[in-house]
Structure 1
Amino acid sequence: MTTSVHDPALTAKHRAMWATGDYPRLAAELVSPLGPVLVEACGVKPGDRVLDVAAGTGNASIPAAVAGGDVVASDLTPELLAAGRLAAEQRGVELRWQEADAEALPFGDAEFDTVMSCIGVMFAPHHELAAGELLRVCRPGGTIGLLSWTPEGHIGRLFAAMKPHLPAPPPGVQAPPLWGDENHVRALLGDEVSDMTVQRRSLTVTAFPDGSTFRDYFKAVYGPTISAYRAIGDDRDRIAALDADIAAVGDRFVTGPSTMEWEYLLVVARRR
């Protein structure tokens, strides 16, 4: 495993990326079913101290609070936290919202009974640092739960399609979908956990009849895709190539009328 160094400038860049577009819309329309899946897998119960890392708009945080957890929803991007806070208020759910970097969490050692992340921590650029923080803030015997897109699945292939059109990442930065690879996660958590269970599952999405519809939606609302297009500027040929590559990913995963299966990896482990 390589040694990673926290980079505040890169953190600021990531914060800005996730504030572009309309991720709260995507979270509500497409991936909201994932949060309850993770909360159930973690076995959150009344009184548990729960930290949701890279919580976004609270897709897992809010269900954890509904389950009775004493929840802190932490995220790098204040705009996402604001949307989550509003959603929680509309549901009458109380929890704490705190701006925090997954690579340098502002919490004490062993502070939480459950530390979880639902398609969130996977986007921290330095995987080793983020994994170390997940472990540090979880008490011995506590639960660590992760839900991440797989490299082979639909979102993993989206990132693979965008990669050739982007500048090379800084040294030490790893691809987000690696968190959806069992061997990678086992290497990150290592001997610090026990009783690890790993499952591949899929989220059924019924929003897109074809790849071009999928592409246009993600161009409008998804920060990483918006950033990819901004990186190539006004070059029409490069825009057309990226358009085609993303649409091809969408077409590849359409399995029926407006139906896609988006694969993810669900990991639950016990902190030693």
Structure 2
Amino acid sequence: MSITDREPVPAELLDTVRTKHSALWALGDYPAVADEVIPSLGAVLVEACDVGRGDHVLDVAAGSGNAAIPAALAGADVVASDLSPVLLAAGRERAAERGAVLRWEVADAHALPFDDGAFDVVMSCVGVMFAPFHELAAGELTRVARPGGTIGTIAWTPDGFIGQMFATMKPFAPPPPPGAQPPPWWGDELHVRSLLGDRVTDLRAEVRGLVVDRFASGVEFRDFFKATYGPTIATYRFLGEDSARVAELDAALADLADAHLADGTMTWDYLVVRATRA
């Protein structure tokens, strides 16, 4: 079945997902993850997209501005969009602290409230990957980019550390909505090529590694993500008072991180994609 042959996602389901995901990313303290664990990742995407002065840029699923703020500091006219008002509020604070001027708008990656071809650059740094209906989100990324404009994404790879973390949590987590696709598929080049299709040209993709030196042990990693990272918090909440299952997940996450730690560092693989809107 081709992408265009797929059944449309019911409006009621989209509304439900929108509400749940807005609440999900308000759990914990995702800005702490962005600030303490992956602070350099947004600037990597800004550089990959060659964002410069005067570019009209949309950052989709921008969170607290990990990529949007560096784009604004590069001189671009930036709109940062996200489902979570909580994350946007955190982003406004960080932008003010760094002297960055940009707009912040609540928006769903499945249905962006912007005109066709409105932006020179449309980008997303480990953000749009969490919109569960990939075809819808990819269609929106390309729709709002002008012909000849740039589309850029960074996503965790399925086989990298974060992809493995999601695979580890999956047996313990609530079931995804019908028709949802796993977030790390956005980190697979063939999947991204199939999503964007002939709506883009000159697609270039490269797997890179982010060196993370924030955690001295697997237990430290696990406890930090249990306290800050929405998907991990939601998984534990789903387990409720089942102490045996909680202990099982505790051990699995700590063991996974320990297996990736060497001399206090881990390398988290991600896929960076840049393409031109056809």
Task: Confirm or deny a common fold (TM above 0.5).
Answer: yes
Structure 1 unaligned spans of 5+: none
| Inter-CA distance 107–253: structure 2 relative to 1 (3 Å threshold) | same
- Alignment check: 8 A CA contact 1:4 1:128 kept: no
Output the CA distance in 1 between the equivalents of 2:194 and 2:52. Answer: 29
For 1:97-108, what aligned pairs fall within 5 Å after superposition?
97-108=104-115
Q: 1:11 aligns with which of 18, 29, 53?
A: 18
Q: What is the aligned partner in structure 2 of residue 259 from structure 1?
A: 265
Cα deviation digits, residues 56-85 of structure 1 (max 9, x gap)? 000100110111110000000001000110
Which residue identity does 1:3 align to in structure 2?
A: E
SS at match of 2:37: helix
Output the CA distance in 2 between the equivalents of 1:248 and 1:11. Answer: 33
Q: What is the aligned partner in structure 2 of residue 20 from structure 1?
A: 27
Aligned length: 271
Q: Is residue 270 of structure 1 aligned with residue 276 of structure 2?
A: yes
Task: Quote the offset at 1:4 in angstroms.
Answer: 4.5
- Alignment check: 8 A CA contact 2:174 2:235 kept: no
Output the CA distance in 2 between the equivalents of 1:24 and 1:32. Answer: 10
Task: Quote the offset at 1:212 in angstroms.
Answer: 1.3
Task: Quote the offset at 1:136 in angstroms.
Answer: 0.4
Q: Is residue 43 of structure 1 aligned with residue 50 of structure 2?
A: yes
Output the CA distance in 2 between the equivalents of 1:4 and 1:33. Answer: 37
For 1:234-253, what aligned pairs fall within 5 Å after superposition?
234-253=241-260
For 1:92-171, what aligned pairs fall within 5 Å after superposition?
92-171=99-178
Which residue identity does 1:240 align to in structure 2?
A: A
Structure 2 unaligned spans of 5+: none
Which residue identity does 1:114 align to in structure 2?
A: V
Over aligned residues, Cα RMSD in angstroms?
A: 0.9
Output the CA distance in 2 between the equivalents of 1:170 and 1:264. Answer: 25
Q: What is the aligned partner in structure 2 of residue 84 from structure 1?
A: 91
SS at match of 1:207: coil
Consecutive aligned runs of 4 or more in structure 1 exceeding 3 Å deviation: 1-4
SS at match of 2:153: strand
TM-score (structure 1 length as normaliser): 0.98
TM-score (structure 2 length as normaliser): 0.96
Which residue identity does 1:216 align to in structure 2?
A: D
